[in-house]
């Protein structure tokens, strides 16, 4: 049974600390609005959101000003100027978004959630999830060719009725580049520190008046900034566009990425401070190899201005082999993942009148998958893990076929000239057919195996939104959205020492959000969002003795305020500002805690500690209290085509585990970028990342009962030089 929608006053939804911050920010917004009215100019045209189009929300172009949600669009110009070597360099400019760098293009995400590996985000390419629900990979953005995207759309918070599981914290949608109207070529070649080499090549042409294609190729190779941390990727994107007739259009996209990533370890504090390049994983310890293929064909039929049908069949093939780095010290193993997906998205939109629109559709897919896990014995040289050997012991070998069907409806009603009311709902039904292919009992109590079986679960998610146009320049919105995250196939049927994992329930969430956005003085725009997101039945991993277990454990709340501001200071200077303040708490989080180590107070000799613990009221671990990004751009008026940018990135402090006993203090980084357009076809780029060569950690954690913090050292000062040629 779904929770009733209750629109409560802000005094009940938000804590005192967040309310106080909200008032200060709102006052600041209006101060900035009035103080900068006279400074803006029109060098790059108006920055207002009145004509910004967003595709993700309804799977077709829609004005951002008509959406009851927080959404940021990163256009092709910004992508080219930033030239990201890692998705974090692009996405961390968005208010409320933090993507860390785990080496290569590995990452975790924090969007209205802690820095986490959990599947609470949805990664899309042209509106299609890059992975099926239940097969989330926290590194999933490395399967997308981000630097050659046409645009990136980021929705913060829960998605609309057109999206189901995983769309709790946010949605990141990469839009591929369309085919050109005439022959085009682009080549961008970069060289940099730590053996960095990258070539980005794009070529396309029209076939005739109604069709054309584009091919994008990304070849990247990097030795890594830590010992034995090499990384490489090869990506290809092919897009074919065809106007089949006056009513029919076809867009076909093929994507392929091959990623080879060396294992990268965390370090304890002394080595993190004094020898951050050290890596405890050498050779194939902690490595992963990924091959990801995707093919889709979007057919659009529009016989009149009111009705639009879209039918999008798609196929995925994904394989990964790895030795999981986080298990090297206590349960080393070699894994092989494989899945194929066959699915389709069918959508019908009808503008019944100038004031009322309805969208309905159904998504369905089937995903056969397999998983194998073998025991390995690791080889050490001192504290360095240098290799491994297979033990000829199978821990897991299973097949699982997941079937999903998801009908939805979304409606919009415009009334009284200034109001837009939206209401929708989505029903998701999952069935997973699991077959254990190993005979006999589990090898040991740390590798339990459920019996072959079928499991199913369903969920209905209501959505509600309201937009109010205050005047021609400013509007406000409110939304309530309920969503869920389906238990992953791995958590259901690769339980480790957890019993009854097949009975895990979906994570549930409900969120409330109020936002303001607008523009002023032609070239200044702002956005602000205040949100409260509540999760229940959160699936968490915890330490039980020497084992890791998973369970549905209680409730968490995630509250915050996000601010974005950008505009022109003068003819030569522009600025962009993003700031976020969060408060993330355990409302209810209890489990039986067991510890065998003296670090948690056990007296030796003596029995291990066994006690029920509840961390209600504690901060959620790995939840930065604040995030910020400020960039200042300088365009010398006397040298056309020259551009400089200084960027500051801020990550606030956070507790390293749920006991709130140890903290990471956060960090501030400075980056410098420049480019010069030598001619219409030639461009030189240069950037320096981490200008001050600061030692910092991209992910800092501690296990409950362990007094040692583990740090993941971040990128030291690095230089990149690039050359771009196009015609």
Going along the chain from its start, the domains and CATH numbers come out as: 10-726 (2.40.170.20)
Residue 205 CB neighbour total at 10 angstroms: 15
- Integer Cα distance of 649 and 624 in angstroms: 13
HSE, CB side, 13 Å, CA atoms: give it for residue 533. 31
Q: What is the pLDDT of residue 3?
A: 41
What values do phi and psi take at 566, rounded to 5? -155, 150
Band of pLDDT at residue 316, cut at 50, 70 and 90: very high
DSSP secondary structure code for residue 608 in this structure: P
Whether the per-residue pLDDT at 33 is higher than 70: the answer is no
Mean pLDDT (the chain, rounded): 90
Band of pLDDT at residue 412, cut at 50, 70 and 90: very high
Handedness of CA 687, 628, 476, 426 (dihedral sign): positive
Q: What is the pLDDT of residue 626?
A: 98
Sorted by sequence, the CB contacts under 8 Å of residue 4 that are 6+ apart come out as: none
Q: What is the pLDDT of residue 10?
A: 43
| Residues 555, 589 contacting (CB under 8 angstroms) | yes
Q: What is the pLDDT of residue 46?
A: 39
Residues of the chain above pLDDT 90, percent: 81
Sorted by sequence, the CB contacts under 8 Å of residue 48 that are 6+ apart come out as: 473, 518, 519, 522, 525
| Residues 657, 704 contacting (CB under 8 angstroms) | yes
CA nearest 93: which of 103, 102, 81, 104? 81
Cα separations (Å) of 529 from 156, 494, 694? Answer: 10, 39, 31
Residues of the chain above pLDDT 70, percent: 89
| Residues 141, 528 contacting (CB under 8 angstroms) | no
- Integer Cα distance of 465 and 410 in angstroms: 11
The pair of three-digit structure tokens given for residue 705, joined into one six-digit string = 């009962």
Task: Over range 103-127, report the average pLDDT.
Answer: 95
Sorted by sequence, the CB contacts under 8 Å of residue 604 that are 6+ apart come out as: 598
| Residues 48, 525 contacting (CB under 8 angstroms) | yes
Q: What is the pLDDT of residue 18?
A: 55
Q: What is the pLDDT of residue 521?
A: 86
- Give residue-wise pLDDT tens across range 394-407: 999 999 999 999 99
Band of pLDDT at residue 480, cut at 50, 70 and 90: very high
Whether the per-residue pLDDT at 562 is higher than 60: the answer is yes
Q: What is the separation of C-alpha 35 from the centre of its chain, rounded to a whole number of angstroms?
A: 35
Question: Of residues 659 and 671, which shows the higher confidence score?
Answer: 671
Whether the per-residue pLDDT at 614 is higher than 50: the answer is yes
Band of pLDDT at residue 43, cut at 50, 70 and 90: very low
Q: What is the pLDDT of residue 552?
A: 79
Whether the per-residue pLDDT at 315 is higher than 70: the answer is yes
Band of pLDDT at residue 31, cut at 50, 70 and 90: very low
Whether the per-residue pLDDT at 1 is higher than 70: the answer is no
Q: Is 127 helix (H, G, I), strand (E, B) or coil?
A: coil
State which of 15-29, 38-52, 711-725 shows the largest mean pLDDT.
Answer: 711-725
Q: What is the pLDDT of residue 49?
A: 57
| Residues 672, 250 contacting (CB under 8 angstroms) | no
Burial classification of residue 476, based on how many CB atoms lie within 10 Å of its CB (0-12 exposed, 13-18 middle, 19 or more buried): middle
Q: What is the pLDDT of residue 591?
A: 64
Q: Minimum mean pLDDT among 176-190, 412-426, 571-585, 604-618: which range?
A: 604-618
Task: Over range 439-468, report the average pLDDT.
Answer: 94
Q: How many residues does the chain have?
A: 727
Runs of H (alpha helix) within 215-326: 269-274
Q: Is the peptide bond before 605 cis (omega within 30 degrees of 0)?
A: yes
Band of pLDDT at residue 11, cut at 50, 70 and 90: very low
Q: What is the pLDDT of residue 7?
A: 36
Q: What is the pLDDT of residue 659?
A: 83
Q: What is the pLDDT of residue 98?
A: 98
Buried b (16+ CB within 10 A) or exposed e, 634-660: bbeeeeeeebbbebebbbbebbbbbbb
Q: Is 492 helix (H, G, I), strand (E, B) or coil?
A: helix
Task: Over range 203-229, report the average pLDDT.
Answer: 97
- Integer Cα distance of 442 and 451 in angstroms: 10
- Give residue-wise pLDDT tens across range 190-200: 999 999 999 99
Whether the per-residue pLDDT at 32 is higher than 50: the answer is no
Residue 619 CB neighbour total at 10 angstroms: 19
């Amino acid at each position: 049974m779904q929770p009733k929608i209750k629109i409560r006053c802000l005094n009940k939804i938000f804590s005192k600390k967040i309310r106080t911050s909200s008032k200060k920010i709102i006052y600041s917004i209006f101060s900035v609005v009035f103080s900068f009215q006279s400074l803006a100019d029109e060098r790059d045209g108006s920055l207002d959101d009145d004509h910004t189009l967003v595709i993700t929300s309804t799977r077709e172009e829609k004005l951002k000003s008509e959406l009851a949600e927080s959404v940021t669009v990163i256009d092709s110009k910004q992508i080219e100027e930033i030239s990201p070597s890692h998705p974090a360099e692009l996405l961390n400019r968005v208010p409320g978004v933090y993507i860390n760098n785990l080496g290569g293009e590995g990452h975790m995400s924090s969007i209205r959630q802690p820095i986490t590996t959990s599947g609470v985000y949805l990664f899309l390419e042209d509106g299609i999830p890059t992975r099926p629900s239940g097969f989330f990979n926290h590194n999933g953005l490395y399967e997308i060719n981000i630097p050659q995207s046409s645009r990136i759309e980021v929705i913060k918070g829960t998605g609309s009725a057109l999206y189901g599981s995983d769309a709790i914290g946010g949605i990141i949608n990469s839009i591929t580049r369309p085919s050109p109207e005439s022959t085009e070529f682009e080549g961008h070649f970069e060289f940099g520190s730590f053996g960095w080499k990258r070539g980005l090549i794009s070529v396309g042409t029209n076939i005739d008046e109604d069709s054309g294609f584009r091919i994008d190729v990304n070849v990247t190779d990097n030795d890594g900034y830590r010992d034995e941390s090499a990384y490489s990727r090869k990506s290809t994107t092919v897009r074919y566009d065809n106007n089949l007739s006056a009513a029919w259009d076809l867009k076909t996209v093929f994507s392929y990425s091959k990623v080879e990533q060396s294992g990268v370890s965390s370090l304890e504090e002394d080595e993190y401070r004094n020898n951050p390049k050290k890596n405890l994983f050498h050779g194939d310890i902690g490595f992963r190899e990924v091959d990801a293929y995707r093919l889709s064909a979007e057919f659009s039929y529009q016989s009149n201005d009111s009705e639009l049908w879209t039918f999008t069949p798609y196929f995925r093939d994904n394989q990964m082999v790895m030795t999981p780095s986080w298990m090297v010290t206590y349960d080393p193993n070699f894994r092989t993942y494989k899945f194929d997906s066959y699915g389709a998205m069918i959508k019908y939109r009808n503008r019944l009148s100038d004031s009322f629109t309805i969208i309905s559709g159904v998504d369905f897919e089937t995903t056969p998958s397999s998983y194998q896990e073998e025991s390995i014995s690791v080889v050490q040289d001192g504290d360095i893990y240098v290799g491994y050997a297979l033990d000829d012991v199978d821990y897991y070998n299973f097949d699982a076929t997941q079937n999903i069907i998801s009908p939805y409806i979304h409606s919009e009603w415009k009334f009284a000239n200034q109001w837009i009311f939206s209401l929708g709902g989505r029903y998701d039904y999952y069935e997973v057919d699991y077959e254990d292919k190993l005979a006999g009992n589990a090898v040991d109590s740390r590798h339990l195996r459920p019996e072959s079986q079928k499991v199913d679960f369903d969920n209905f998610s209501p959505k509600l939104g309201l937009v109010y146009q205050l005047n021609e320049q400013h509007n406000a919105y409110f939304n309530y959205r309920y969503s869920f995250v389906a238990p992953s196939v791995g958590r259901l049927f690769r339980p480790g020492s957890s019993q009854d994992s097949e009975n895990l329930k979906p994570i549930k969430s409900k969120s409330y959000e109020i936002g303001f956005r607008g523009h002023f003085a032609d070239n200044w725009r702002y956005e602000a969002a205040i949100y409260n997101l509540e999760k229940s039945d959160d699936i968490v991993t915890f330490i039980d003795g020497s084992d890791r277990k998973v369970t549905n454990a209680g409730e968490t709340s995630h509250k915050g305020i996000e601010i974005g501001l950008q505009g022109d200071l003068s003819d030569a200077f522009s600025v962009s500002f993003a700031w976020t303040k969060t408060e993330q708490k355990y409302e209810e989080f209890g489990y039986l805690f067991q510890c065998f180590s003296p670090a948690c107070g056990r007296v030796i000799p003596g029995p291990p500690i066994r006690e029920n613990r509840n961390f209600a009221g504690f901060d959620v671990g790995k939840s930065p209290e604040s995030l910020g990004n400020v960039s200042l751009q300088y365009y010398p008026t006397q040298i056309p085509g020259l551009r400089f940018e200084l960027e500051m990135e801020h990550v606030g402090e956070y507790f390293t585990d749920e006991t709130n006993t140890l903290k990471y203090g956060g960090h501030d980084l400075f980056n410098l970028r420049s480019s010069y357009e030598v001619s219409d076809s030639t461009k030189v780029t240069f950037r320096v990342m981490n200008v001050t060569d600061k030692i910092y950690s991209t992910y800092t954690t501690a296990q409950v009962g362990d007094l040692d913090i583990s740090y993941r050292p971040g990128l030291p000062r690095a230089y990149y030089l690039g050359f771009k040629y196009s015609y």
